[in-house]
């Protein structure tokens, strides 16, 4: 019987209507008896049946029109109760009017009890219908708890309407069993009050809830995570081993309802959310709207995000250049799904191949170039310096030279903090690329006649503007520590860290690209823009937080082991050389590095010599030459350490 009445399948709406009809009939009868002081003979001596039939017919018609019977009773909420209240009120008013205008004059009655019955019946019928739904909902919840073996106790951060909708999404879940222990909020006027029979606790009570109710999860809205109250609550949960689940903003809910499928575990990137970056979008729009824009390394982490954000600024054409076939194909499919009308072209090329690049420029004539193509993995480049030079140095040189030749207005190179006082091949190769495009920028101003500059570049300001943006690690990029740690956690550990004191600057991919676009708009050529990366973060702390975010305990569930610094790796990254200083810009998160510029002919000469050495395939000589060109390049934990003393001597 229990399975028949309380099965997961919803019963027929007509059965619900029949039950409502029985309650309405019974409520009217009780009201009639109360009005007649329980004199049962009045039912048989008066025209009770006529009024009962009229009221039942009117009420059923209104219930059907308002679709009261179509709701699933076990999922009733406050809105359903309010609709029942309105339907009963409308039924009572309609019955009273019909009785007064039609039935009483026709039957020639003078009924004194009609007013009393109408009022009594309204309250009794509404109360019984509402109580029925509350009882059925409570009974279903009780039976669900009894049958559930693995109930997860959950708290919800917030106590507003969105938090209530999140609660209802958990209660309606059929896949898994959840019990909402309470809401957590920091508004004093809501604390210790109840919302839908669930108590609101202060965030200071999270530890109490953890110990008393074995709370396993806290659910938060993933917008504005940098708010103090929410941030503190998340940190408490992480330290207590409570898993934090985030839900998307209400604007992304499906048909205004939250689905549990939209929920996800809080990521380490979410914890690093800073104040929203305010962009001068008019400046960016002015620089990019209606332009033909080339993005090299378009299939990479930074390049693909540049594509996504760039498409919002109405470019005439976006050319996606990369040599990685599969990632480029996946990006193309994404654009077709989400930006179906976007004016894009795919062009596969290796930037080492100057001839192929010339074909690209001759075909599409880009006006703005975002150069994100590069080899970036430190240990890999330490073992393959020839490839670092060919891509990061020669590839950049090819692209810059051809950009100048084809009258490009702006050339924006994506550099790295590893180019500052480099301790590895990758960082030194990126520093060489910085030196070349900077020297090329100022060479135009110093050496070429103004009319020739304008003729070459077509720029109103006289020359192609070569701009460098320099920032640290981006969270979630290909090969970064975050995916690596996540994979190790999923396997049950251990997490491997090179050194307990190693620290890095981190920024999310969207943040970094927003600042790249802003810097590209403000740049006048020759600048190295440095982004505010916030405070450096210890990799150990990041690993601990990721383990706790997974609901696990460091060194108990997941071990952390140290493997030693890799070739070329250093403990601390820097954004500025010792000899560099910064100039502020109108954007608080962007500054300009005052770097000592090298003469173009010198830089071109030494880079040409380096590329010639590359053809000899002699790693030692290549690295020795790099150290001569970049004196601050001191190898760390590398086979090339011995060259530092030789270069100094």
Q: Which residues are identified as catalytic?
A: 418
DSSP output for 220-237:
EESS-TTSHHHHHHHHHH
Cα distance between residue 179 and residue 191, in whole Å: 20
Q: Give residue 543's region: left, alpha or beta (phi > 0; psi -120 to 50).
A: alpha
- Under 8 Å between Cβ of 158 and 201: no
32-35 long-range contacts, CB within 8 A, separation 24+ = 32/113, 32/117, 34/120, 35/113, 35/116, 35/117, 35/120
User: What distance lies between CA 414 and its chain's CA centroid?
Assistant: 23
* Size of the chain, expressed as the number of residues it contains: 649
β-bridge mates for residue 155, sequence order: 182, 218
What does each C-alpha distance from 418 to 58, 500, 516 come to in angstroms? 79, 20, 17
Alpha helices, H only, 200-324: 206-213, 228-240, 268-271, 281-288, 301-310
Cis-peptide, bond into residue 284, ω within 30° of zero: no
- Under 8 Å between Cβ of 54 and 98: yes
SS3 (DSSP) at 115: helix
What is the Rg, in whole angstroms, of the alpha carbon atoms belonging to the chain? 35
- Under 8 Å between Cβ of 157 and 219: yes
Cα distance between residue 46 and residue 43, in whole Å: 6
Q: At what angle do helices 396-405 and 450-457 cross, to 10 degrees?
A: 100
> Do β-strands 528-531 and 590-594 pair in parallel, antiparallel, or remain unpaired?
antiparallel
β-bridge mates for residue 348, sequence order: 322
Cα distance between residue 394 and residue 612, in whole Å: 11
Instruction: Look up residue 618 and give its two tokens.
Output: 């002699």
- Under 8 Å between Cβ of 178 and 171: yes
Q: Which letter does DSSP use for residue 529 in this model?
A: E
- Under 8 Å between Cβ of 120 and 31: yes
Q: What share of the chain is helix, strand, coil (3-state, %, to 5)?
A: 55, 15, 30
Instruction: Look up residue 43 and give its two tokens.
Output: 């039912």
**Residue indicated by tokens 């030692």:** 620
**Residue indicated by tokens 């029979």:** 197
């Amino acid at each position: 019987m229990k399975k028949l009445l309380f099965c997961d399948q919803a019963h027929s709406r007509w059965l619900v209507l029949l039950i409502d009809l029985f309650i309405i009939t019974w409520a009217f009868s009780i009201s009639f008896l109360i009005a007649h002081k329980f004199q049962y003979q009045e039912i048989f001596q008066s025209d009770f049946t006529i009024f009962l039939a009229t009221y039942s017919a009117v009420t059923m018609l209104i219930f059907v029109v308002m679709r009261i019977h179509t709701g699933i009773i076990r999922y009733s909420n406050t809105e359903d109760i309010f609709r029942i209240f309105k339907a009963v009120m409308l039924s009572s008013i309609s019955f009273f009017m019909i009785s007064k205008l039609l039935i009483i004059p026709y039957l020639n009655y003078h009924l004194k009890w009609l007013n009393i019955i109408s009022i009594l019946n309204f309250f009794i019928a509404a109360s019984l219908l509402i109580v029925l739904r509350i009882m059925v909902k409570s009974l279903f919840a009780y039976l669900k708890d009894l049958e559930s073996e693995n109930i997860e106790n959950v708290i919800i951060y917030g106590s507003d309407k969105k938090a209530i909708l999140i609660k209802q999404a958990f209660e309606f879940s059929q896949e898994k069993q959840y019990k909402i222990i309470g809401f957590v909020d920091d508004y004093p006027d809501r604390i210790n009050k109840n919302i839908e029979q669930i108590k609101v606790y202060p965030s200071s009570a999270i530890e109490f809830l953890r110990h008393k109710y074995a709370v396993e999860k806290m659910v938060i809205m993933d917008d504005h995570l940098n708010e103090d109250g929410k941030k503190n609550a998340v940190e408490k949960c992480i330290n207590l081993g409570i898993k934090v689940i985030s839900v998307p903003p209400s604007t992304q809910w499906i048909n205004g309802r939250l689905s549990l499928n939209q929920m996800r575990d809080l990521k380490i990137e979410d914890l690093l959310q800073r104040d929203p970056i305010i962009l001068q979008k008019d400046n960016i729009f002015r620089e990019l709207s209606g332009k033909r824009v080339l993005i090299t390394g378009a299939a990479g982490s930074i390049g693909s995000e540049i594509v996504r954000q760039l498409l919002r600024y109405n470019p005439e054409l976006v050319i996606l250049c990369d040599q990685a076939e599969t990632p480029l194909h996946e990006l193309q499919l994404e654009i077709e799904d989400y930006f179906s009308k976007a004016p894009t072209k795919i062009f596969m090329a290796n930037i080492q191949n100057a001839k192929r690049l010339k074909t690209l420029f001759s075909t599409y004539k880009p006006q703005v170039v975002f150069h994100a193509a590069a080899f970036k993995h430190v240990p890999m480049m330490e073992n393959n310096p020839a490839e670092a030079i060919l891509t990061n140095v020669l590839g950049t040189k090819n692209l810059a030279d051809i950009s100048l030749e084809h009258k490009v207005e702006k050339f924006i190179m994506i550099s790295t903090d590893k180019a500052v006082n480099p301790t590895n091949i990758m960082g030194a190769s990126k520093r060489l690329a910085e030196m070349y495009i900077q020297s090329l920028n100022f060479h135009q101003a110093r050496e070429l006649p103004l009319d020739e500059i304008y003729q070459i570049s077509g720029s109103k300001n006289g020359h192609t503007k070569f701009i460098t943006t320099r920032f640290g690690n981006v969270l979630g990029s290909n090969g970064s520590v975050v995916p690596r740690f996540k994979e190790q956690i999923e396997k049950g550990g251990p997490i491997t860290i090179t050194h307990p004191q190693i620290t890095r600057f981190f920024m999310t991919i969207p943040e970094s690209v927003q600042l790249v676009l802003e810097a590209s708009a403000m740049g006048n050529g020759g600048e190295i823009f440095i982004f505010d990366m916030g405070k450096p973060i210890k990799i150990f702390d990041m690993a601990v937080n990721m383990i706790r975010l997974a609901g696990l305990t460091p060194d108990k569930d997941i071990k952390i082991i140290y493997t030693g610094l890799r070739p070329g790796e250093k403990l601390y990254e820097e954004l500025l050389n010792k000899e560099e200083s910064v100039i502020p810009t109108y954007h608080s998160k962007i500054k300009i590095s005052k770097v000592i510029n090298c003469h173009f002919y010198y830089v071109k000469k030494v880079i040409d010599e380096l590329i010639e050495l590359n053809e000899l395939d002699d790693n030692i000589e290549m690295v020795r030459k790099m150290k001569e060109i970049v004196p601050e390049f001191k190898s760390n934990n590398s086979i090339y350490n011995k060259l530092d003393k030789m270069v100094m001597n």
